[in-house]
Amino acid sequence: MDWFYIFLQIIQWTLILYIGATIIYLFVFGIAGLWPYKKSIALISKKRKYAVLIPGYKEDAVIIEVAKRALNQNYPTPLFEVVIIADSFKPETILDLKQLPITVIEVQFEKSTKAKALNKAMDLLGDDYDVALVLDADNIMEADFISKIDRTFDMGYQVVQGHRIAKNTNNSMAVLDAISEEINNHIFRKAHRVLGLSSALIGSGMAFNYKLFKKTMLSIDAIGGFDKQLEMWLLKNKFVIEYVENALVEDEKVQKSEVFANQRRRWLSAQFIYFWKNIGSALLHLFTRGNIDYFDKVIQMGQLPRIILLGLTGGITTAYLIGFLLFEFEPVLTLLWIIALALLKIALLLSVPKKYYNSQTLKALKTIPLGFFLMLKSLIKFKGANKKFIHTQHGSI
């Protein structure tokens, strides 16, 4: 009986320490994100040439509109080239794309990945560019997106992440996806820059020194989550990732539960794969080179998804509270779980933009239990998702 009690105590304290540390992390950055971020002073002033790289796999439904909208930039036309990297598109889509003043590069692989598409495109394009700007096939840049990104390169940065926002909030699933994106922007991008750490990359709406990106991408072999592998390499080598909050790019939010599950399964797989691959190296670099950025990124990879964190913390807190009220069970742990749940809710509420405090969001909150079970299912079944290409199909909005 004593051994069982000791085992139970170990499990309880391990849970509260792991979940509690994650919640404190989110709470600290949730508060930090409320403060304004003071940008660096420009070191130079020049206009750079951009390769706007838009890889797409079977994205016939959205790619024509995206290509047209990508041309609408208040940036000198000779200084940016829209490049559609067309993987497995229909012949009629290719024909329509070639009518536009853009570059179309057709690719096809036995196993398609975004990294392969980007590498093939840059190999064919050559080196006559200063910046590689990567978009998803559903992304639409605001008219001054490139101009705002370019001013950040004047400050000496080599890697810049724009602010990705929702293109659509037409149902409850899309609303929750949009809110999740903005929480990430608040905690992992703006708040990190406020505290002097690098912004997180997001896979699109991001820009790189062209030569750096082309060289680095040659070593990226990820099937899913190429941005995570890229981000790890950059931070390990002490490149600072800047975030431009007012450089907006619209991104389609998922509208169907099956698409949500597939997308999250891919993300979870990449997240935990790169955690285990980098935790040892990150600890070594933290203590021998003072590389906090790299260590911080690996810590992020080891955290539970927020919707699972919220559901798990809420369920455990409720169980402890019932146990305490009925049987005076574990008063200290009960109090700690109540505090943890309160801090988590505060951190999330602070991270949600005011525009989402409306009746549509209240309606969408009813979808949270479904999201929790979908994420739990994805967490259980994520093994092997990094070994095959899982495509998120986009539709016309």
**Residue 90 burial class via C-beta count within 10 angstroms: exposed 0-12, middle 13-18, buried 19 and up:** exposed
Between 131 and 330, name the one with better pLDDT. Answer: 131
Task: State phi, psi for 229 to the nearest 5 degrees.
Answer: -65, -40
Strand partners, 151: none
Q: How many CA atoms lie within 13 A of 27 on its CB side?
A: 14
- Report the distance separating Cα 269 and Cα 266, nearest Å: 5
Give the pLDDT confidence score for residue 382 in this predicted structure. Answer: 59
Give the pLDDT confidence score for residue 199 in this predicted structure. Answer: 97
Find out whether 353 and 190 touch, Cβ atoms under 8 Å. Answer: no
pLDDT for residue 391 is more than 80:
no
**Residue 177 burial class via C-beta count within 10 angstroms: exposed 0-12, middle 13-18, buried 19 and up:** buried
Give the pLDDT confidence score for residue 379 in this predicted structure. Answer: 66
pLDDT for residue 256 is more than 60:
yes
pLDDT one-digit tens code per residue, 98-124: 999 999 999 988 888 999 999 999 999
Find out whether 33 and 190 touch, Cβ atoms under 8 Å. Answer: yes
pLDDT one-digit tens code per residue, 134-156: 999 999 999 999 999 999 999 99
Between 377 and 177, name the one with better pLDDT. Answer: 177
pLDDT for residue 264 is more than 80:
no
pLDDT for residue 259 is more than 80:
no
Which of 10-14, 181-185, 227-231, 364-368 comes out lowest in average pLDDT? 364-368
Question: What element of type H or E holds 157?
Answer: none
Average pLDDT over residues 175-201: 96
- Report the distance separating Cα 370 and Cα 182, nearest Å: 20
pLDDT for residue 86 is more than 90:
yes
Q: Cα 63–185–381 angle (5° rounding)?
A: 75
- Buried-state track 6-23, b at ≥16 Cβ within 10 A, e below 16: eeeeeebeeebeebbebb
Which of 35-44, 206-215, 258-267, 324-333 comes out lowest in average pLDDT? 258-267
- Report the distance separating Cα 138 and Cα 61, nearest Å: 9
Q: Identify the band that residue 60 occupies on the pLDDT scale cut at 50, 70 and 90.
A: very high
pLDDT for residue 397 is more than 70:
no
pTM above 0.85, yes or no: yes
pLDDT one-digit tens code per residue, 16-53: 999 999 999 999 999 999 999 988 888 888 999 999 99
Find out whether 187 and 351 touch, Cβ atoms under 8 Å. Answer: yes
pLDDT one-digit tens code per residue, 356-390: 999 999 998 888 888 778 777 766 765 555 555 55
Which of 47-51, 88-92, 125-129, 382-386 comes out lowest in average pLDDT? 382-386
Give the pLDDT confidence score for residue 345 in this predicted structure. Answer: 96
Between 303 and 39, name the one with better pLDDT. Answer: 303
pLDDT for residue 222 is more than 90:
no
CATH of domain 50-269: 3.90.550.10
- Report the distance separating Cα 254 and Cα 171, nearest Å: 9
Question: Which residues make up the CATH 3.90.550.10 domain(s) of the chain?
Answer: 50-269
Give percent above pLDDT 70 in the chain.
93
Q: Identify the band that residue 217 occupies on the pLDDT scale cut at 50, 70 and 90.
A: very high
pLDDT for residue 328 is more than 70:
yes
pLDDT for residue 83 is more than 80:
yes
- DSSP secondary structure of 83-116: EEEEES--HHHHHHHTTSSSEEEEE--SS--HHH
Give the pLDDT confidence score for residue 41 in this predicted structure. Answer: 81
Average pLDDT over residues 276-301: 96
Full 3-state SS string of 197-255: CCCCCCCCCEEEEHHHHHHHHCCCCCCCCHHHHHHHHHHHCCCCEEEEEEEEEEECCCC
pLDDT for residue 296 is more than 90:
yes
pLDDT for residue 267 is more than 80:
no
Give the pLDDT confidence score for residue 64 in this predicted structure. Answer: 96
- Report the distance separating Cα 335 and Cα 314, nearest Å: 13
Average pLDDT over residues 202-223: 93
Between 282 and 171, name the one with better pLDDT. Answer: 282
